[in-house]
Amino acid sequence: MAKEAQQQVSYTVEELVAVNPYNPDILADLENYVNEQVSSQKYSLDANLCLLRLYQCEPERMSPPIVARILIKALMAMPAQDFSLCLFLIPEQVQSEEQFKTLIVLSHYLETARFRLFWDEVAKNRSLLESVPGFQQAIEAYAVHVLSLIYQKVPRAVLAEAINKEGLALDQFLEYHVANSGWAIEKSQGRSQLIVLPPNEFNHPELKKNASDSVSYEHVTRIFPVLS
């Protein structure tokens, strides 16, 4: 029953954001929606941007814990640029508060692929990040994504550092992806394992569809009168 009521609220919030976003009365609804996103592992960038805009217009109503949660959710959305999009709307004095400085540093490490530094910093800030379920998995997915952009075959050590797993945990991770994501494991000369990532247009350029030469349907309809 409670879950149904929750579902109703989020439906209304998305509608509000679409239809009447410039309205300070919906601020409380949007804040509740952020908490709901955190607890049920959903995500809505548009609703969060709407809330940040309202905070921009009425800075005295801004709630730092809510903003922190929005930023953490945005980090989890990488490689999408949501984190910067949110920061564009947060005033400098707010950004210089401790917890936000930490989050900005974390974002910086992820943007520049400094995974080891990133996981070290995460370890120092467990309380902040553990309040948002799904954080670990989301970052692992981002790390795998970046590796798939580059590597046809990635050395085990590189993968280990990126997703912060070693030994048994890493083996289990690999097993899972071999079974479900089309990964394969090879042995490279003398050294340890090589993980073969599934081919995509980024690590196998020959797969790149020349998509920009395809013509959209709308444009083709323009010559229908001629063809008839």
Partner 1 sequence: MAAYDADSSAGGDLAYDPNFVPDSVKTFVVHLYRQIRDKNVYEIHQMYEGSFNRLTDRMFRESPWPTAEAVAPYVDGDHVFCLLYREMWFRHVYARLTPTPKQRVESWDNYCSLFGVVLHGVVNMQLPNQWLWDMVDEFVYQFQSYCQYRAKLKNKTEEELQLLRNFDQAWNVYGVLNYLQALVEKSNIIQILEREKEGLEQFTVDNGYDYQGGSNVLKMLGYYSMIGLLRVHCLLGDYRTGLKYMAPIDLSQQGVYTNVIGSHISTIYHYGFANLMLRRYGDAIREFNKMLLYILKYKQYHQKSPQYDQILKKNEQMYALLAVCLSLCPQQKLVDENVSTQLKEKYNDKMTKMQRYDDEASTVYDELFSYGCPKFITPSAPVLDEPLTNYNQEAYRLQLKMFLFEVKQQQLLAGIRSFLKIYSTITVTKLAQFMDVDEATLRTILMTYKHKMHSTDNDGKIVSNADIDFYVDDDTVHVVEAKPTKRFGDYFLRQILKFEEMISELEKVQLD
For partner 1, the binding residues (CB under 8 A) are 22-24, 45-46, 49-50, 53, 56-59, 79-81, 84-85, 87-89, 91-92, 108, 111-115, 146-147, 149-155, 158, 161, 188, 194, 202-205, 210, 212-215, 218-223, 226
- Minimum Å gap between C-beta 101 and partner 1 is 13
- Minimum Å gap between C-beta 118 and partner 1 is 11
For residue 194, what are the CA distances in angstroms to 116, 127, 141, 159? Answer: 20, 35, 19, 10
Contact between 77 and 132 (Cβ < 8 Å): no
* Residue 15, token pair as written in the block: 């509608």
- Minimum Å gap between C-beta 127 and partner 1 is 26
Contact between 164 and 119 (Cβ < 8 Å): yes
Closest CA to 140 of 170, 103, 105: 170
- Minimum Å gap between C-beta 108 and partner 1 is 7
Nearer CB in complex with partner 1: 39/204: 204
CA dihedral 59, 62, 64, 67 (to 10 degrees): -100
DSSP-derived secondary structure for 205-219: GGG---GGGSPPHHH
Nearer CB in complex with partner 1: 6/121: 121
- Minimum Å gap between C-beta 136 and partner 1 is 19
DSSP-assigned letter for residue 195: E
Nearer CB in complex with partner 1: 113/141: 113
CA dihedral 218, 219, 220, 221 (to 10 degrees): 50
- Minimum Å gap between C-beta 14 and partner 1 is 14
Nearer CB in complex with partner 1: 22/127: 22
Nearer CB in complex with partner 1: 35/96: 96
Nearer CB in complex with partner 1: 1/223: 223
